[in-house]
Amino acid sequence: MAQTPVKVTVTGAAGQIGYALLFRIASGQLLGADVPVTLSLLEVPQAVKAAEGTAMELDDCAFPLLRGIEIADDPNVAFDGANVALLVGAMPRKAGMERGDLLEANGGIFGPQGKAINDHAADDIRVLVVGNPANTNALIAQQHAPDVPAERFTAMTRLDHNRALSQLAAKLGVPVTEIKKMTIWGNHSATQYPDLFHTEIGGKIAAEQVDESWLRDTFIPTVAKRGAAIIDARGASSAASAANAAIDHVHDWVNGTEWTSAAIVSDGSYGVPEGLISSFPVASRGGRWEIIQGLEIDAFSRERIDASVRELEEERDAVRKLGLI
Ligand code: NAD
Ligand code: LMR
């Protein structure tokens, strides 16, 4: 029997991440090489024509798994029947801006999109927010979707996770595949905490294989400020690596993994206030993220996790003040 295609809605489809993402979804890398998809592209009216151009190129690839493309400028249309929603559409920060500067500019996008998801998406909808500030935008969308289980709203810290893997692999001269149990905690921002105290290489703790000064003064800031370094070098924010991380996040959510990092709604684990969308070490089993429990958190890690979580609380309070939640 022919399999029903999975409907994947991508917002900001005409943007630079959209361009790096759509072809990989259509080729089967998001959900699996045997899963047909339809794509729904959401854009602002002035970018619909550019999205139509991307759709023409998608057609021209004759992807065997791509069963249809829709383009809309209305979230109620774009999310109708969606099974997966990738919320990418938002302004990227420019040189010299912090992600917090985007709260007001981008926050307003995510309430109406959350409501449209609430009212029109399929029952099994899974949402990944990429547009910055991703954690708080995900919170805004989730708060506007009271009929969707909160656990279906997530934000992307997989790019930070992948950056941390690469930095550590280069330092120790090992392939990234040798590194297990990497964790990003907190916000997708400069306060994030990449944790090497539970990371293992050949069964040994990574933090014990590097100098403390490298860990503290090089590794953590390099990972946490990598987005700004890319903006500085490229003159534009990361795009292909961000699209790659979005593919990894959804692929693992649907197909399962024993350990990665994702920003999900806190259940109070590790002292992170319930309801905040914060990055944790997670596994995915049966299509659901689970926070990995029972890790010992020492004073060094505690201080850094708490600082990032405090920033998330401040962002939440700021969007509350703006009337966005
Ligand atoms: P871009 O400017 O190239 O594209 C953004 C697109 O979104 C544009 O085409 C714009 O028209 C569209 N858009 C704006 N408002 C919209 C709305 N209401 N509905 C639908 N579409 C809308 O930007 P980009 O480089 O693709 O980046 C997109 C976002 O992703 C930025 O906020 C950026 O900071 C963020 N980002 C996040 C991560 C992460 O790890 N979480 C990494 C890289 C970039
Ligand atoms: C990134 O991490 O590359 C993005 O979030 C872009 C940014 O604003 O840092």
Greatest Cα-to-Cα distance within the chain, rounded to the nearest angstrom: 59
Residue 53 annotated as part of some ligand binding site: no
- Does ligand 1 have an atom closer than 6 angstroms to the CB of 238? yes
Residues of the chain with CATH 3.90.110.10: 158-315
Predicted ipTM beyond 0.85: yes
Q: Taking the CA atoms of the chain, what radius of gyration do you get in angstroms? A: 19
pTM of structure: 0.98
Q: What is the pLDDT of residue 3?
A: 87
Q: What is the pLDDT of residue 299?
A: 98
Q: What is the pLDDT of residues 54-90, one digit of tens each?
A: 999 999 999 999 999 999 999 999 999 999 999 999 9
Residue type present at position 32: G
CA distance 137 to 252: 22
| CATH fold of the domain at 6-155 | Rossmann fold (3.40.50)
- Does ligand 2 have an atom closer than 6 angstroms to the CB of 159? yes
Atom of ligand 2 at shortest range from CA of 230 = 3
What is the DSSP secondary structure assignment for residue 173, as one 8-state letter? T
With 0-12 CB in 10 A as exposed, 13-18 as middle and 19+ as buried, what is 116? buried
CA distance 74 to 86: 15
Kindly report the protein residue whose alpha carbon is nearest to atom 35 of ligand 1.
131
- Does ligand 2 have an atom closer than 6 angstroms to the CB of 163? no
Identify the segments of the chain with pLDDT beneath 50: none
Class of domain 158-315: alpha beta
Residues with catalytic function: 188
DSSP states along 143-155: HT-TTS-GGGEEE
Residues of the chain with CATH 3.40.50.720: 6-155
Atom of ligand 1 at shortest range from CA of 130 = 41
Backbone angles phi and psi of 145, in degrees to 5: -130, 65
Atom of ligand 1 at shortest range from CA of 89 = 7
Backbone angles phi and psi of 67, in degrees to 5: -100, 0
- Does ligand 2 have an atom closer than 6 angstroms to the CB of 230? yes
